[in-house]
Structure formats: structure tokens, C-alpha cells
Amino acid sequence: MQCKCGHKAVYFRRYSGQHLCSKCFSRSIFKKFKDIIRMNKLMERGDRIVCGVSGGKDSLVLLYLLKKLSEKFQFELSALTIDEGISGYRDLSIPFVKKACSDLDIELHIRSFKEEYGYSLDEVASMDDRLGACSYCGVFRRNILNKHARELGADRLAMGHNLDDESQVILMNLLRGDVSRFGRMGTFYRDVHHKFIPRIKPLREIPEKEIVLYAIVNGIDFDFEECPYAPEAFRDDIRDFLNMMEEKRPGTKHALLKTYDRLYPLLNQTFAPESISTCGNCGEPSISLFCKKCEMLEDIGKKLGKAD
Amino acid sequence: MVKVILLRERKILEVSYTGPIKGLLPMVDYSVETAVVLRNGEPVEEEEEVGDGDEIKIVPVVSGG
Ligand code: SF4
Ligand SMILES: [Zn+2]
């Protein structure tokens, strides 16, 4: 098949019926990315944007697109990488981040669980309790990203979640009956706490497959590895289901996200926490007296002994 | 024979197949949604044909994070 420009198509976008050559495909991704930012007012000229980068395809494509945009639309851009301390995984992906940042001339900051909390995720996972590595990892990563983005003077923290990530989480929360989480997943969730850096997700309408293709046609080298702790059977089922539906009914994932986005203002009104206070221990935003991270650290300290 | 390189599995298979790529994908446990396909090094639409002597590289859609 041919692209409408006459070149050979490399991609059939089934949900829109377009056959696209690599140039027109890349252009369409950059346009979509810009549209998401503009229509949702994700950033302003002069903002300081910190991009969370893991070395996987999503965050590296996001970094690349942000860099490209920063050449036209003035804003400051830097990258923040969290080293959870997962051997055989993060130690392999960080070199990809370093390479991308040096190629794109972007300042990179790396922070680790070990230096921040005294324990690597591998050490925490060795406790082998019922919570599982991902629960600790998620809470710690959110905490450290927010804290360091704030220390870097960020106006926005940009994250690389794609359409598949977003539609999976929507369906997971729906099937779990977790309605309160629903009020907190929009494109631009501004928390009601002055220490919380608003997160933006400029890729959330772009399918995961298109992120991979974009990385390939633009020569963005990324890490293929998957985290050894990523066992989430429930998410795998949801992913398989959504992929099956998307294959039968192209546009399913977009429709799910759109439905969510239209409900979001109502959900947010009803379920967003009324006020967020400050953790009595570390001073970071918290819903209860002490934040989740501090509670977890205390628990870990009891099991593993105090960190040095 | 089509040479199929599975990047995630780090495997190379020889598959006897002629026809559109989308018909080959289920034979190696992939689908249009879960793979980006390179034919002889170039990304291609899954409607395209493959056959004897072609090399197919399967890039997994899910990775990292
Ligand atoms: S899969 Fe779990 S442990 Fe691994 S990086 Fe993601 S949240 Fe952390
Ligand atoms: Zn074209």
C-alpha cells in the first residue's frame, strides 16, 4: 500500500484507516503529541519541564518529542531517572538514558532508592512479604520523582504513559471496583498541595505499538528488558483482552480513554480527596498523618534492620 | 523458509510460510497488536507478503517501563 503522499506505507493505522509512510507517520505522532499538549494546556512557554526517564521506549520517545518541541516552543527541559536498584534490569537500562541525554544534549539527574532511603528495591524485595516489590516500588518512585522534580524547580513532571497503559489502568480500576482512584488519572492532575508537582502525560493517546514504531523509525535506541518483578497477572489478562478487542474492533482503546476523559470532571469532583496534608515525618504531601512511604520505610526498618 | 527473529525471546526460527505477515504472527505467538514487524530490516504493514528467503524481525510492543 501507498501513503497518501505517494511513498510506500510502513504502517496501517487500523483505527483511522490510514496507510502511512515513515515520514508521514512520524509527523502524525509529533502532531498528536503537540495537540494533546495544546488542547489540555499541559505546559506554558518558559516552563521548566522535568521528564521522568527509565530507558524504556515510552520515556525515551517522550524525551525526544519534548526536545523537538523545545526547539520551537521555548521551555526548559531536563531528565530525571530513578535507579530503584533492580539488578539485571535498571543497571542495563540506565546506559540507554545516558546515551539519549548526551545525544540530545539534555541535563540528566539520577537518584537512587539506595541513597534516598537506604535500601535498594532488591533488598526490599528480599523481605518476601505479601505486598510485593511493585507496591513498594510504586510508592517510592512517586515520592522520589516528586521530591526531586520539585528540588529541580520543575513546573511540570512529564511521564511517558501511553494509550495502552492508560486504558489498562482504567479497566483495572473499573473491574476492581476502585472508583476513588478514578478521580486521579486525568491528563493533567493538579493535586491540591503546594509541594506536589503536577504530572503531565503527553503520550496518553498514542498506542504503545506506535511508540515502538516511532522509536524504530527515528533511531531511538531503547531497552527491551522487562522488570524481573513484573508479574502482574491481572494486568496481563486486561492487556490480552484489550488487544483482542482492539483487533476485532479497532478504536476500542481510544474509546475507553475518551469515555474516561468525559467522565473525569464528574469523578474528580466526587472522589478527589478534599485536602491533602503534609506528612508529619518527612514533610511530603500525604493523605494521612504519615505518608505511605514513611509507613513502608518504618516497616522495612523493622524487618531488615535500620539502614545505614 | 522465512527466517523469523524474535527479539524478546532471543530466538531465531525457520518457518515454512508464504503469505501475508499477519498470518505468520499467530504461528509465533504474536498478533498485529503485540508486534512491530521489520521485513529485511524495514518496518512493513502486516498486509504485506513474505516468503522464501525473507527475514522477519519481531519487535515486541510491550517492554520496559
Ligand atoms: S515492575 Fe514493579 S518492581 Fe519493576 S519497576 Fe515496575 S513497579 Fe517497580
Ligand atoms: Zn507519507
Q: State pLDDT tens for residues A210-255.
A: 999 999 999 999 988 889 988 678 999 999 999 999 999 999 999 9
Distance CA A54, CA A139 (A): 16
What pLDDT shows up at residue B65? 64
CATH topology of domain A31-273: Rossmann fold (3.40.50)
Poorest-pLDDT segment among A116-130, A182-196, A293-307, B2-16: A182-196
Distance CA B46, CA B20 (A): 7
- A3/chain B closest Cα distance in angstroms: 11
Please give the average per-residue pLDDT across A59-80, as a whole number: 96
pLDDT band at residue A268 under the 50/70/90 scheme? confident
pLDDT band at residue A186 under the 50/70/90 scheme? low
What pLDDT shows up at residue A191? 56
What pLDDT shows up at residue A188? 54
Q: Is the dihedral of CA A59, A60, A61, A65 positive or negative?
A: positive
- Residue A184: pLDDT over 90: no
Poorest-pLDDT segment among A122-126, A160-164, A190-194, B36-40: A190-194
- Residue A283: pLDDT over 60: yes
What pLDDT shows up at residue A28? 98
Query: Given CB atoms, is B34 within the 8 Å cutoff of chain A?
Result: yes
Give the position of cell 521522568. Answer: A52
List the grid coordinates of A129: 512479604
**Test site for ligand 1: of A134, A143, A145, most ligand atoms within 8 A of the Cβ:** A134
- For A2, residues 6+ apart whose C-beta sits below 8 A from its C-beta are A8, A9, A19, A21
- Residue A207: pLDDT over 70: yes
What pLDDT shows up at residue A288? 85
Give the position of cell 489478562. Answer: A237
- B14/chain A closest Cα distance in angstroms: 23
A111-145 per-residue burial string, b: 16 or more CB within 10 A, e: under 16 = bbbbebbebbbbbbbeeeeeeebbebbebbbbbbb
**For A283, how many CA atoms within 13 A lie in the half-sphere containing its CB?**
3
Give A208's contacts in chain B (Cβ within 8 Å). 61-62
pLDDT band at residue A195 under the 50/70/90 scheme? confident
- Residue A196: pLDDT over 60: yes
Residue type, A36: I
Q: Which ligand is nearest to the CA of A228?
A: 1
- For A75, residues 6+ apart whose C-beta sits below 8 A from its C-beta are A43, A44, A45, A46, A47, A48, A49, A69
Q: Which residues of chain B have pLDDT under 70?
A: 65
Q: Please tell me the total number of residues recorded for chain A in this structure.
A: 308
Query: Given CB atoms, is B5 within the 8 Å cutoff of chain A?
Result: no
Backbone angles phi, psi at B13, to 5 degrees: -115, 155
ipTM: 0.96
Sheet strands (E) in chain B? 2-6, 11-15, 19-20, 35-39, 42-43, 49-50, 55-60
Ligand 1 geometric centre to CA of A70 (Å)? 30
What pLDDT shows up at residue A263? 86
What pLDDT shows up at residue B3? 97
Query: Given CB atoms, is B46 within the 8 Å cutoff of chain A?
Result: yes
Distance CA A96, CA A77 (A): 18
Q: State pLDDT tens for residues A34-54.
A: 999 999 999 999 999 999 999
How far out from the chain centre does Cα A202 lie? 10
Write the residue with the smallest CA distance to atom 2 of ligand 1.
A134
List the grid coordinates of A177: 471496583
**Superfamily per CATH, domain B2-60:** Beta-grasp domain (3.10.20.30)
Poorest-pLDDT segment among A27-36, A71-80, A244-253, A284-293: A284-293
Q: In what order do the strands lie in the sheet with B55-60?
A: B11-15, B2-6, B55-60, B35-39, B42-43
Partners of residue B35 on adjacent β-strands: B60
Domain boundaries, chain B: 2-60
* Ligand 1 atom closest to residue A232's alpha carbon, by position in its atom list: 1
Q: Do A12 and B64 touch (CB under 8 A)?
A: no
Q: Where do runs of H (alpha helix) occur along chain A?
A: 22-39, 57-70, 90-104, 113-117, 121-125, 133-151, 163-176, 179-182, 208-217, 233-248, 252-271, 292-304
- Name the more confident of A2 and A195: A2
Please give the average per-residue pLDDT across A66-88, as a whole number: 96
Whole-number percent of chain A with pLDDT over 90: 73
Domain boundaries, chain A: 31-273, 276-308
> B6 — alpha (psi -120 to 50), left (phi > 0) or beta?
beta
What pLDDT shows up at residue A274? 66
pLDDT band at residue A178 under the 50/70/90 scheme? confident
What pLDDT shows up at residue A233? 85
pLDDT band at residue A181 under the 50/70/90 scheme? confident
What pLDDT shows up at residue A86? 96
Query: Are B56 and B5 contacting, i.e. CB atoms less than 8 angstroms apart?
Result: yes
